[in-house]
Amino acid sequence: MQQLLQEPDFYRPVSHSRTTLTELMIPSYANFGGKIHGGILLSLMDKVAYACAAKHAGNYCVTVTVDGVNFLQPVEVGELVSLMASINYVGRTSLMVGIKVIAENVKSGFVKHTNTSYFTMVAKGEDDKPAKVPGLLLETPDDARRFMEAIQRKEIKARSEREFKEIKTNLELRQNISTLAGQRCQLGFKL
């Protein structure tokens, strides 16, 4: 298997690693308001991202970044949560896993979309160094669209990080104090 991963023309289809994890939301997962803790959902997303990435890579994978964690609707105790993961993009050693989370009330049959997130994973070899991953065979127009969206997402994120780093580096408190005007804060120190 390791030999195959070194070949530049080795591709795996998106369908090879598509993974769904379904779990019943039990009372111990809930907060005092009866809603499922966001941390529980994040943990489940990390598990399904790992399973999906490891299946594609054929190696151990680690989480590098998580993007798009917006909880759109609450998840209730007793609902079945399904996390559907697929590889949206691959680099040389990295993989972007798209995850759609839905919750289903089994009594009423009502299904709601609660979250979509993107996990960037890196494959690790036996030496614990980043390992090359197979290319991605895009089987459908949706697969191609997701790959292109991932490229755009990476570019936007890199640009945003560069811009924020520049802002942090060049931010002078005295010159920019007016930014705080109209905000819900007070200075507890003197300039």
126-164: pLDDT as tens digits: 999 999 999 999 999 999 999 999 999 999 999 999 998
Minimum mean pLDDT among 1-5, 101-105, 110-114: which range? 1-5
Checking if the pLDDT of 4 tops 50, the result is no
What distance in Å separates the CA atoms of residue 123 and residue 119, rounded to the nearest whole number?
13
- pLDDT recorded at residue 9: 61
**Are 143 and 121 spatial neighbours (Cβ–Cβ below 8 Å)?**
no
Enumerate helices (H) and strands (E) in the chain, giving the number of each: 5, 7
Mean pLDDT (the chain) is 93
Checking if the pLDDT of 3 tops 60, the result is no
Checking if the pLDDT of 8 tops 80, the result is no
- pLDDT recorded at residue 74: 96
What distance in Å separates the CA atoms of residue 7 and residue 9, rounded to the nearest whole number?
6
Give CA angle at 68 (185, 144), nearest 5°. Answer: 150
- pLDDT recorded at residue 5: 46
66-105: pLDDT as tens digits: 998 999 999 999 999 999 999 999 999 999 999 999 999 9
Distances (CA, A) of 187 to 37, 174, 179, 190: 34, 12, 12, 7
**Average pLDDT in the 24-34 region?**
95
The pTM of the full predicted model, rounded to 2 decimals, is 0.87
- pLDDT recorded at residue 174: 80
Cβ burial, residue 30 (10 Å; 0-12/13-18/19+): middle
- pLDDT recorded at residue 1: 44
